[in-house]
C-alpha cells in the first residue's frame, strides 16, 4: 500500500535553536499517530511544517508518493508556488489549539469559507457540505450562531467541521483540547475518535495518555526536536515508557 505521508530528515531552526531535528515519519491511509512530549519539544512546529505553515530548512515531504511543497531556487529550498501550496493545504486539514474561527462569521459561514474562497465551490454546495460536517460533529443546530456565543468545546467542534468541509485526506490536531475547561475535553475527543473509527488518517498532538492508548496506531515521544521513542501503544506504554525521560514526563501530567 502506498504511503499517504512520508517525512524524511525534516529540519527546522529558529535562529540557533533547532526546533525540529532530522525527523522522519511515515503513515499509510487510515493510520493514526499520536505525538506526545513536553512543551517546547517541537511538536506544533512539526505539524505546522507538514501543513506548510512553517518552511523547513532541509528534508523532504512526500504526499501520496510525490515530493511536495518545495522547489529549488538559486541553490536554496523554497516553498512552491502559492497556488500549489494552497491545493496541498486543502488535502491536509488542521485543527488548532485556539480554534481560529472568524468572529464576524456564523458557524456555517466559517465552515463554508474555505470551500468558497479556495475550492471555488458555489455557496449553495458549500452550505450543503458545511451543514453535513456540522451535523457530523453535533453542531448543526448552532449553524446560525456566532462563535462568541459558543463554549470552547463547541468552538473546537466547529473548527473540526470547518477542516472536514475541505474533504482532506489527512487531519492534523495540534493539542485540540489544551485551551478547554476539563469538562469540555470529552466532547472534542469523542468527535476525533469518531473520525478515527471512520478511517480518517490523522496526527494528533496531545497530553491525553488515555486517548493515545485507545486511538493510536503508533505513539511518538518527542523531546528537544527529536523522536526519542516510537511504537504501538502496547510497546510504548509497556517497555518504552520505562525510559526515565518518558516516565518523568508521564508522571508530571498525571
Q: Which CATH number fits the domain that encloses residue 163?
A: 3.40.50.300
Q: Name 126's Cβ contacts closer than 8 Å, sequence gap at least 6.
A: 112, 115, 116, 119, 165
Residue (of 79, 199, 100) closest to 158 by Cα position: 100
> Which residue segment(s) compose the domain that 178 sits in?
5-253
d(CA 114, CA 117): 5
Determine contact, residues 23/7, Cβ cutoff 8 Å. Answer: yes
pLDDT of the residue at 1: 81
State which residues of the chain have pLDDT below 70. Answer: 254
Determine contact, residues 172/93, Cβ cutoff 8 Å. Answer: yes
Angle between helical axes of 152-164 and 123-136 (0-180°, round to 10): 130
Angle between helical axes of 182-197 and 152-164 (0-180°, round to 10): 20
- Provide the domain count of the chain: 1
pLDDT of the residue at 254: 64
Amino acid at each position: 500500500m502506498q504511503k499517504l505521508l512520508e517525512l524524511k530528515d525534516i529540519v527546522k531552526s529558529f535562529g540557533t535553536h533547532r526546533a525540529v531535528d532530522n525527523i522522519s515519519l511515515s503513515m499509510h491511509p487510515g493510520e493514526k499517530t499520536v505525538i506526545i512530549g513536553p512543551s517546547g519539544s517541537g511538536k506544533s512546529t512539526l505539524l505546522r511544517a507538514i501543513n506548510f505553515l512553517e518552511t523547513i530548512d532541509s528534508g523532504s515531504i512526500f504526499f501520496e508518493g510525490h515530493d511536495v511543497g518545495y522547489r529549488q531556487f538559486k541553490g536554496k529550498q523554497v516553498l512552491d508556488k502559492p497556488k500549489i501550496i494552497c491545493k496541498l493545504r486543502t488535502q491536509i486539514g488542521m485543527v488548532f489549539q485556539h480554534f481560529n474561527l472568524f468572529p464576524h462569521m456564523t458557524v456555517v459561514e466559517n465552515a463554508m469559507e474555505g470551500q468558497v474562497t479556495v475550492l471555488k465551490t458555489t455557496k449553495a454546495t458549500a452550505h450543503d457540505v458545511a451543514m453535513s460536517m456540522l451535523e457530523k460533529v453535533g453542531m448543526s443546530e448552532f449553524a446560525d450562531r456566532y462563535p462568541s456565543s459558543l463554549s470552547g468545546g463547541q468552538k473546537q467542534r466547529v473548527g473540526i467541521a470547518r477542516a472536514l468541509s475541505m474533504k482532506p485526506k489527512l487531519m492534523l490536531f495540534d493539542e485540540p483540547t489544551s485551551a478547554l475547561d476539563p469538562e469540555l475535553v470529552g466532547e472534542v475527543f469523542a468527535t476525533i475518535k469518531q473520525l478515527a473509527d471512520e478511517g480518517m488518517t490523522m496526527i494528533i498532538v496531545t497530553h491525553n495518555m488515555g486517548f493515545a492508548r485507545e486511538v493510536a496506531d503508533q505513539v511518538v515521544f518527542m523531546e528537544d526536536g527529536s523522536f526519542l521513542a516510537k511504537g504501538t501503544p502496547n510497546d510504548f506504554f509497556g517497555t518504552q515508557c520505562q525510559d526515565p525521560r518518558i516516565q518523568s514526563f508521564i508522571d508530571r501530567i498525571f
